Amino acid sequence: MSKIEKVLATGKSHTTLNRAGTTSRGHNGKLDIELSTPGSAQPAHVFADTQPHPTAEQLFAGAWSACYIAALGLAAKDLKVAIPADVCVEIEIDLGQTGTGYLLQAGFNVRLPGLTHEMACAIAHAADQMCPYSKATRGNIDVYFDVQTS
C-alpha cells in the first residue's frame, strides 16, 4: 500500500455519546445532519460539520465516526465492560498525493477515560473489526489509532 507523500486536505469529526445516541461535531458546527439507525425513526446520530459546503473527507469522517462509536459500545458490551459516559472519537480523513496518484488515509483518536490502557485498546480494536466502514477500507487505506484513557 502506498503512503501519502503530501496531504492536500483533511476532513475531521469529533463524536461523543449522549442520551439520545451520539453527536458528531466538526470544529464550529455550521452543518447538522441527523442520522438514524436502521429500523428506527428516532435520530441516533447528529453530525455537525465545519463548513457550509462540506468536503467528501469531512462527510466520510462524520459517517465513519458515527458507525465506529456505535461499534465501540457493542465491543465493550461483548467484553462485559461499561463504556465510559464521556467516550469520544475523533477521526481525520486526509486526501493526499503520492506522485500523480491520489490517496486517502485515516487517523483515529479514541478516548475511553477511566479504563486501563489495555482494555481501552482491546475495545478500540474490537470495534475496528466489527465496524462496516473499517471493514470496507481495510487494506485499501492507511489507518492509525491513538487510544487514550485520560
What nine digits make up the cell of 40?
Answer: 428506527
Q: Please give the angle made by the CA atoms of 82, 76 and 33, to the nearest 5 degrees.
A: 95
DSSP strands (E only) in the chain: 6-18, 21-25, 31-36, 43-49, 88-98, 101-111, 142-148
What is the rounded CA–CA span in Å between residue 20 and residue 31?
Answer: 19
**How high is the pLDDT of residue 133?**
97
Phi, psi of 96 (to 5 degrees): -140, 180
Mean pLDDT by 10 residues, the chain (150 residues): 90 76 49 54 50 76 92 96 91 95 96 96 97 96 95
pLDDT value, residue 16: 83
C-beta separation of 45 from 35 below 8 A? yes
pLDDT at 69: 92
Q: What is the pLDDT of residue 32?
A: 52
Q: Note the helical H segments in the chain.
A: 56-78, 117-130, 132-137
Domain segments of the chain as ranges: 52-148
Residue 116's identity, in one-letter code, is T
Q: Which fold has domain 52-148?
A: GMP Synthetase; Chain A, domain 3 (3.30.300)
Given this model, what pLDDT does residue 50 score?
42
pTM of the model: 0.80
